[in-house]
C-alpha cells in the first residue's frame, strides 16, 4: 500500500516541521592582488627541545604572494600590530580586508585600532571552525616539516640525486 501511495506522491510528513533557511558562510573574494590578505601565526621548533618560535605570515589571497613574514620569540599583540603596519607600509597600500583566525594577537585591541585607522575590514573565522585559508595552512605545514634548524647545510650529491 505504501509503495503505491509513494509512487502517487501521497506520502509525506504530516506534522508541521520548522524549516530553516540554509546558513551561508561568509566569503571574502578578491578580483585582484592586494584586495584580501590572510594572516596567521604558527609555532616553529627551535634549536633545542622546548624552545619554540612564532612565525607570522601574511598571504595575499588572490596571488598567494607572501606579503610579509616575521619570526619572533613569542606571540604578542604589539609585535603583531608592528608586523601588520610594516607589511602595509612596504606594500604601499592597505588591502580592502584582512582575514585571520581568533588567536590572541589577531583579536587584540592594538591590531583592531590599527586596522580601523587604515579603514581595513577585519574578517575572522567562525568559532570552533577550522576554515582558514588552505594555502597559508599548507605553507605552515611545509615550513614546519621542511625546516632544519640549526642543522648543518646539506649540499646536493649529484651521484645520489638527493639532498
Q: What are 151's three cell numbers? A: 642543522
Are 83 and 114 spatial neighbours (Cβ–Cβ below 8 Å)? no
Query: What would the mean pLDDT of 71-95 be, rounded to a whole number?
Result: 91
Q: What is the pTM of this model?
A: 0.70
Work out the angle at residue 53's Cα, subtended by the Cα atoms of residues 48 and 59, and round it to the nearest 5 degrees. Answer: 140
Residue from 61, 117, 62 nearest 85 by CA: 117
- Measured distance CA(94)–CA(92) in Å, rounded: 7
Query: What would the mean pLDDT of 89-111 be, rounded to a whole number?
Result: 88
Res 117: pLDDT = 94
Q: Does pLDDT of 91 surpass 50?
A: yes
Q: State residue 110 phi and psi, 5-degree precision.
A: -65, -45
Q: What are 40's three cell numbers? A: 596567521
Query: What would the mean pLDDT of 7-33 be, rounded to a whole number?
Result: 81
Res 38: pLDDT = 87
* Whole-number average pLDDT of the chain: 80
- Measured distance CA(40)–CA(18) in Å, rounded: 39
Q: Which residues contact 24 (CB under 8 A, 6 or more apart)?
A: none
Q: Which of 20-24, 29-33, 119-123 bottoms out in mean pLDDT, i.e. has the lowest? A: 20-24
Q: Convert the pLDDT of each residue in 110-147 to its tens digit.
A: 999 999 999 998 887 766 666 566 777 777 777 777 66
pLDDT: is 5 or 161 the higher one?
Answer: 5
Hey, what domains does the chain have and what are their CATH numbers? 36-135 (3.30.420.10)
pLDDT: is 56 or 138 the higher one?
Answer: 56
Length of the chain: 163
Are 69 and 140 spatial neighbours (Cβ–Cβ below 8 Å)? no
Q: Does pLDDT of 154 surpass 50?
A: no
- Measured distance CA(141)–CA(152) in Å, rounded: 22
Amino acid at each position: 500500500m505504501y509503495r503505491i501511495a509513494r509512487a502517487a506522491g501521497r506520502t509525506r510528513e504530516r506534522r508541521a516541521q520548522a524549516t530553516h533557511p540554509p546558513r551561508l558562510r561568509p566569503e571574502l573574494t578578491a578580483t585582484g592582488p592586494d584586495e584580501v590578505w590572510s594572516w596567521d601565526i604558527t609555532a616553529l621548533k627551535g634549536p633545542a627541545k622546548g624552545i619554540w618560535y612564532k612565525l607570522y605570515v601574511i598571504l595575499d589571497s588572490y596571488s598567494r604572494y607572501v606579503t610579509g613574514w616575521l619570526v619572533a620569540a613569542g606571540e604578542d599583540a604589539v609585535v603583531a600590530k608592528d608586523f601588520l603596519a610594516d607589511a602595509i607600509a612596504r606594500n604601499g597600500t592597505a588591502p580592502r580586508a584582512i582575514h585571520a583566525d581568533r588567536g590572541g594577537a589577531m583579536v587584540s585591541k592594538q591590531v583592531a585600532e590599527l586596522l580601523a585607522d587604515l579603514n581595513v575590514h577585519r574578517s575572522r573565522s567562525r568559532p570552533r571552525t577550522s576554515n582558514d585559508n588552505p594555502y597559508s595552512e599548507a605553507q605552515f605545514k611545509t615550513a614546519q616539516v621542511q625546516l632544519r634548524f640549526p642543522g648543518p647545510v646539506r649540499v646536493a650529491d649529484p651521484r645520489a640525486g638527493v639532498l
